[in-house]
Amino acid sequence: MKVGIVSLGCPKNLTDTEVILGKLAAAGHEITNNERDADVLIINTCAFIKPAIDEAMSEIKRAIKLKQKGHIKYLVVAGCLPQRQKIKMADVDAWVGSGNIDKIVDVVKNLGRSPRFPIPDTRSPSQRSCLFDHKTPRIKATPRHYAYIKIADGCDNRCTYCTVPNIRGPFKSRPTEDIVAEAKILARSGTKELILVAQDTTNYGTDLYSKLMLPALLKKLCRIPGLKWIRIMYAHPDHMTDELIKVIAKEKKIVKYIDLPIQHICDNILKLMGRRVSKRKIIDLIAKIRRSIPAITIRTTFIVGFPGETRSDFKELLDFIKKERFERLGIFAYSAEEGTPAANLRGKLPETVKISRFRQAMRLQNQISKKLNEEKRNKVFEVLVDSKAGKGFIGRTASDAPEIDGSVVISPPYGGHIKVGDFVSVKVKRASAYDLFGALIT
């Protein structure tokens, strides 16, 4: 059959989508990018927070309309939503939790048979993640020149606001040799930027090797020919060791960029969140990173409006953001998630207050980002070209993760031939809060 897929959520979810596509193609099904040309449409969902659930439900309803109009024959909903909660909708032919996506071929094979393929069990907590190896069929959904590689799945941190441990189960690492083998395959197929993802990348190896093994893994990945950039995402600050900082600083292939979700800076809120770091430890860690890696770009995220967050707590957070001047920062308004301890905390704030604090924090970061970007005017940066856009091109510096951070818009004339996947030198002519605009240096 012809199979189309819609992938929602984060890059970690996208790697599952790529495996779904790879398994179906290996089983003889045809993959199509045209939904209306598909016999089967699969929606790989995210359900981390309520907005993600809302987006998933909206996509499911849109797909149901396509099915009712006869554009598709079967609809399958996969991923975190059916893993998190059982849902019954008459026009959905099968539900496949994230812990069951290894069964996707059997699911599609049984579509249309009577009785209908049953809703899969969500499995025990220890089996809720499907970690695949380098031999697993995979069809990349990213451009040829960059790829995500999932080094682990699940999480043991148990932050009080987070649903991930309930959805994905306990933390599980892939063997180092298996990750390196997959990275070599990706490099041979044209991957120049390798992006490491997991729910907690810095915790890599503790379950398999009884110690933090990300530094050792990174050293091995840096020896692979063809790879030019290696990027680390989703690094928990509690596992940022001196050894890891030293490896990032020393290895030329590791981009000087770290995604380090902090979530808050007030000790009382950090404690309520179940974060195993203090304000002092966070401040000292950031200072150590910047001292050891002067060119580092730090991306972080914060949650505002958490239960019990006072005006004073919020001001302390704003003062911290203002002082640290993070190069990349994301803000989330707290969302009470069913089944999490934080949902039962006292001191819940009205939605109006949460949204107001979200907007204040974003305004502040917008000002900081604009000033930091304006400081880049008339400077030259190495840029990886991601796509063609009209007569120009869109690319990224090493300080920008794809689909998350800003872009570099390269304007004509070029004075030479550029193609997607090239590394080029660009002189910045102007800047906005999140994007740079420049010309090619030949």
Alpha-carbon distance of 356 to 432, in angstroms, equals: 24
Nearest to 130 by CA among 9, 16, 6, 17: 16
Is residue 412 very low, low, confident or very high in pLDDT (cuts 50, 70, 90)? confident
Sheet holding 74-79, edge to edge: 30-31, 2-7, 40-45, 74-79, 94-97
Contacts of 271 (CB under 8 A, 6+ apart): none
pLDDT given at position 138: 95
Q: What is the DSSP string of 116-140?
A: PPPPPP---GGG------TTS----
Q: Please, is 350 exposed, middle or buried when counting C-beta atoms within 10 Å of its C-beta (0-12, 13-18, 19+)?
A: exposed
Contacts of 235 (CB under 8 A, 6+ apart): 200, 201, 202, 258, 259, 260, 261
pLDDT given at position 121: 52
Is the pLDDT score of 182 beyond 60? Answer: yes
pLDDT given at position 120: 47
Point out the least confidently predicted range of 46-55, 251-260, 406-415. Answer: 406-415
Structural domains of the chain, with CATH = 2-127 (3.40.50.12160), 146-374 (3.80.30.20), 380-440 (2.40.50.140)
Is residue 202 very low, low, confident or very high in pLDDT (cuts 50, 70, 90)? very high
pLDDT 10s digits, 90-113:
899 999 888 888 899 999 998 977
Contacts of 422 (CB under 8 A, 6+ apart): 384, 385
The CA R_g of the chain, rounded to the nearest whole Å, is 22
From residue 412, alpha-carbon distances to 84, 415, 426, 438 in Å are 48, 8, 12, 9
Question: Model pTM?
Answer: 0.94
Q: Give the range with max mean pLDDT: 74-88, 157-171, 196-210, 416-430.
A: 196-210
Alpha-carbon distance of 274 to 306, in angstroms, equals: 12
**Which H or E run contains 195?**
strand 193-197
Alpha-carbon distance of 165 to 212, in angstroms, equals: 20
Is residue 87 very low, low, confident or very high in pLDDT (cuts 50, 70, 90)? confident
Whether the Cβ atoms of residue 311 and residue 339 lie closer than 8 Å to each other: no
pLDDT 10s digits, 61-71:
999 999 999 99
Alpha-carbon distance of 107 to 116, in angstroms, equals: 10
Is the pLDDT score of 115 beyond 60? Answer: no
Sheet holding 229-232, edge to edge: 146-150, 193-197, 229-232, 254-259, 297-304, 328-333
- The mean pLDDT value for 385-403 works out to 93
pLDDT given at position 86: 75
Contacts of 294 (CB under 8 A, 6+ apart): none
Is residue 191 very low, low, confident or very high in pLDDT (cuts 50, 70, 90)? very high
Is the pLDDT score of 118 beyond 70? Answer: no
**Which H or E run contains 358?**
helix 351-374
Contacts of 178 (CB under 8 A, 6+ apart): 133, 134
Alpha-carbon distance of 130 to 167, in angstroms, equals: 12
Token pair for residue 305?
A: 């409006």
Beta bridge partners of 389: 392
Is the pLDDT score of 286 beyond 60? Answer: yes
Kindly report whether the peptide bond that precedes residue 412 is cis, defined as omega within 30 degrees of 0: no
CA–centroid distance for 149 within its chain: 11
- The mean pLDDT value for 371-398 works out to 95
From residue 314, alpha-carbon distances to 225, 268, 274, 318, 354 in Å are 47, 12, 18, 6, 10
Is residue 126 very low, low, confident or very high in pLDDT (cuts 50, 70, 90)? low
From residue 300, alpha-carbon distances to 99, 291, 331 in Å are 28, 18, 9
pLDDT 10s digits, 213-260:
999 999 999 999 999 999 999 999 999 999 999 999 999 999 999 999
Average pLDDT of the residues of the chain: 93
pLDDT 10s digits, 295-347:
999 999 999 999 999 999 999 999 999 999 999 999 999 999 998 999 999 99
Pick 37 or 328 by higher pLDDT. 328
pLDDT given at position 285: 98
